[in-house]
């Protein structure tokens, strides 16, 4: 607890005065009060197996340079639930250091101590920040997942664990990491960057708002910056798609609708074909991508069956589910609870459907909305928490108009609401702006988890506060057809880190980021295609000549 109360910038006098670098095995001498190292080892250049990824799965291994590998625990304690807690961290210090610090953001509700290799944004990146010479850290955010269906959410029963996951663990981890970097190299990092997607994107935004002098630049991709409210939307979606599933197929052995039957793969392809028919050419070029998505006012009712359901139309409950879901859940006064959504051309992808209603091949209740989002809402994002293994029953019994108030509630030992601890929605980044900090946002237009329009809405709040000065501090790049963080029939491979570093260190504000469609992505119909991602509200527009597969023939306008 004492460690949690110290200033994130504090370091012990010995570390601040150090000029002689400490060897990897000596770093335990430099840790701040309240921190304990559990590992300090030299790792040779080569390939490592990544923690938490099934061996043989894509991305299960990563190249690494020779480096010092450190793990430790900060603020070890016993929680109100009687369980042991600590902020765990993994830190890797390359032998050939470029003088920079990279904080690797997390995902979901974290609870896994992953390897700090410096995961880059987008899809299919073969390099990582550690290979590029960055000192990299990662944190489990103060808890480790427990076994069982609700194991990843048990930490929500402890108020301090909630606060650690929401904001405190990132600040404390960065403080310790910078202390150890200084001790190991004999000097502090010249520049510090935070890069993450989803919850990692939320964490990046949190740093700019709560700890504005800690980082010089952040990348917030598909940020979960209002995840408690997005989880309410996810439960609302599950209710809608359950009705559609009941219309399309008989119930499962448990008597419940089979959520994955809400829409067949053919239904989803029909939907995106119609989206393309109505909206593809709004940017002047029919190319399988909706670049001018703000102008797309798609109405799913055009696909409603006039008679029996066929492969060429959608049933009434399917159309109703789409209409209501994409309009967004509303409270009793008719105000949006979270956000509306965009009809885009990536809705048929596995990445989209798996989040919303799962897939039939993996069982009746495998949707990420029904597991991660519902579990988080029940046990972490609402007060008091609801302990449950039956996420289906919880989702079906949740009334958005009545129960959304629980994400703002406090009670007993839970003195901070989930929205206060977790949401990173303040447009007040005055101190970060004075520090010269930069923010890069990336967001897939076909993101099924966090709406691109909600990220646009945050950028607009910055513009209301800072006017034209916003462009010198924050820029958003939307990715047509891309799902959550990566995937979908999209140009989802891009280098955001180089753009951020050039902006922070050279003053080169990014106007366009070239992105590539990965040939290994089965959803991509045009492998190898490149396109410019443009700083919002500009869009990629074809110049009128040259191959439409080459970004060089497009301008941002």
447 is catalytic: yes
* pLDDT, tens digit, 9 for 90 and up, residues 63-107: 999 999 999 999 999 999 999 999 999 999 999 999 999 999 999
For 274, the token pair is: 């119609």
Nearby residues of 425 by Cβ (< 8 Å), 6 or more positions away? 225, 226, 458
**Strand boundaries in 385-529, DSSP class E:** 438-444, 474-479, 512-516
Decide if 297 is catalytic: no
- Among 2-11, 12-21, 420-429, 516-525, the least confident range: 2-11
Q: What number is the average pLDDT over the span 53-71?
A: 89
pLDDT in tens, 147-205: 999 999 999 999 999 999 999 999 999 999 999 999 999 999 999 999 999 999 999 99
The pLDDT score that the predictor gives to residue 58 is 76
The CA angle 370-375-378, to the nearest 5 degrees, is 120
pLDDT at 2: 37
Looking at every residue in the chain, the average pLDDT score rounds to 94
The residues, ordered by sequence, that sit 6+ positions from 523 with a Cβ below 8 Å of its Cβ are 346, 349, 350, 351, 487, 488, 489, 490
User: Is 484 annotated as catalytic?
Assistant: yes
- Of 490, 488, 509, which is closest to residue 499 (Cα–Cα)? 509
Helices (H), 249-399: 265-279, 316-327, 350-356, 368, 374-376, 391-397
Confidence of residue 19 (pLDDT cuts 50, 70, 90): low
Q: How buried is residue 460: exposed, middle or buried, by Cβ count under 10 Å (0-12/13-18/19+)?
A: middle
Average pLDDT of span 22-32: 96
Would you kindly state where each structural domain of the chain is located, as residue ranges?
Answer: 1-189, 228-291+330-420
**Does residue 439 register a pLDDT over 80?**
yes
Collapsing DSSP to helix, strand or coil, 230 comes out as: helix
Residue 447 pLDDT greater than 60, yes or no? yes
Over residues 272-276, the mean pLDDT reads 97
Is residue 360 predicted with pLDDT exceeding 80? no
User: Of the residues 69, 348, 443, 484, which is catalytic?
Assistant: 484
- What's the pLDDT tens digit per position in 361-376? 555 556 788 899 999 9
> Is there a contact between 200 and 107 (Cβ–Cβ < 8 Å)?
yes
| pLDDT bracket for residue 15 (50, 70, 90) | very low
Q: Which of the following is catalytic: 69, 184, 192, 198?
A: 198
Q: Which residue has the tokens 């079906």?
A: 396
CB 348 within 8 A of CB 271: yes
Neighbours of 543 (CB within 10 A): 11
pLDDT higher at 22 or 369: 22
pLDDT at 461: 98
pLDDT of residue 365: 55
pLDDT confidence band for 404 (50 / 70 / 90): very high
Residue corresponding to tokens 């180089």: 498
- In this predicted model, what pLDDT tens digit does every residue of 306-324 receive, in sequence order? 999 999 999 999 999 999 9
Tokens of 509: 């504000």
pLDDT of residue 273: 97
**What number is the average pLDDT over the span 14-19?**
46
Q: What is the mean pLDDT of residues 373-400?
A: 97
Q: What percent of the chain has pLDDT over 70?
A: 95
Q: Active-site residue among 447, 454, 492, 523?
A: 447
| Residue 76 burial (CB count, 10 A) | 14
Sort 408 into a burial class: Cβ within 10 Å, 0-12 / 13-18 / 19+: middle
pLDDT in tens, 199-253: 999 999 999 999 999 999 999 999 999 999 999 999 999 999 999 999 999 998 8
* Residue 46 in this model has a pLDDT that exceeds 90: yes
DSSP states of 438-471? EEEEEEETT-SSS-HHHHHHHHHHHHHHHGGGGG
């Amino acid at each position: 607890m004492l460690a949690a109360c110290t200033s994130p910038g504090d370091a012990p006098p010995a570390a601040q005065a150090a000029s002689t670098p400490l060897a990897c095995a000596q770093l335990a001498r430099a840790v701040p009060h309240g921190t304990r190292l559990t590992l300090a080892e030299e790792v040779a250049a080569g390939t490592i197996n990544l923690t938490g990824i099934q061996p043989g799965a894509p991305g299960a291994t990563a190249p690494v340079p020779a480096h010092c590998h450190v793990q430790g625990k900060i603020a070890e304690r016993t929680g109100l639930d009687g369980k042991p807690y600590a902020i765990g961290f993994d830190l890797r210090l390359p032998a050939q250091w470029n003088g920079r610090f990279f904080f690797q953001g997390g995902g979901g509700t974290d609870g896994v101590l992953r390897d700090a290799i410096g995961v880059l944004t987008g899809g299919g990146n073969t390099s990582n920040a550690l290979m590029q010479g960055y000192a990299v850290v990662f944190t489990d955010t103060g808890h480790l997942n427990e076994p069982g269906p609700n194991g990843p959410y048990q930490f929500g029963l402890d108020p301090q664990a909630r606060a650690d996951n929401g904001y405190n663990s990132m600040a404390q981890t960065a403080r310790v990491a910078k202390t150890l970097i200084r001790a190991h190299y004999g000097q502090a990092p010249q520049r510090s960057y935070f890069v993450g997607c989803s919850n990692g994107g939320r964490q990046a935004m949190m740093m700019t708002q709560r700890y504005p002098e800690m980082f010089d630049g952040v990348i917030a991709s598909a940020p979960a910056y209002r995840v408690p409210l997005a989880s309410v939307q996810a439960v609302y979606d599950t209710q809608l798609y359950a009705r559609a599933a009941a219309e399309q197929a008989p119930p499962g052995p448990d008597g419940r609708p089979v959520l994955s039957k809400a829409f067949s793969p053919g239904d989803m392809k029909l939907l995106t074909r119609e989206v393309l028919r109505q909206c593809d050419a709004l940017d002047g070029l029919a190319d399988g991508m909706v670049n001018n998505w703000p102008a797309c006012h798609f109405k799913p009712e055009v696909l409603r069956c006039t008679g029996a359901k066929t492969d060429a139309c959608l049933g009434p409950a399917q159309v109703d589910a789409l209409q209501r879901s994409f309009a967004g859940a509303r409270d009793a006064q008719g105000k949006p609870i979270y956000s509306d959504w965009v009809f885009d051309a990536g809705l048929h992808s596995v990445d989209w459907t798996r989040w919303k209603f799962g897939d039939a091949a993996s069982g009746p209740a495998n949707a990420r909305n029904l597991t991660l989002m519902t579990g988080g809402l029940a046990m972490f994002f609402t007060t008091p928490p609801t302990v449950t293994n039956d996420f289906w029953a919880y989702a079906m019994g949740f009334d958005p108009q009545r129960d959304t108030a629980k994400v703002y509630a406090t009670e007993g030992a839970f003195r901070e609401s989930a929205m206060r601890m977790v949401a990173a929605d303040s447009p007040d980044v005055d101190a970060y702006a004075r520090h010269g900090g930069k923010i890069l946002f990336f967001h897939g237009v076909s993101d099924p988890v966090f709406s691109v329009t909600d990220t646009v809405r945050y950028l607009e709040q910055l513009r209301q506060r800072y006017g034209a000065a916003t462009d010198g501090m924050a820029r958003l790049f939307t990715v047509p057809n891309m799902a959550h963080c990566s995937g979908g029939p999209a140009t989802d491979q891009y280098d955001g880190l180089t753009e951020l570093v050039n902006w922070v260190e050279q003053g080169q504000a990014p106007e366009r980021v070239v992105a590539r469609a990965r040939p290994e992505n089965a959803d991509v119909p045009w492998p190898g295609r490149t396109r410019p991602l443009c700083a919002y509200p500009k869009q990629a527009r074809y110049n009128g000549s040259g191959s439409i597969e080459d970004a060089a023939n497009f301008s941002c306008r």
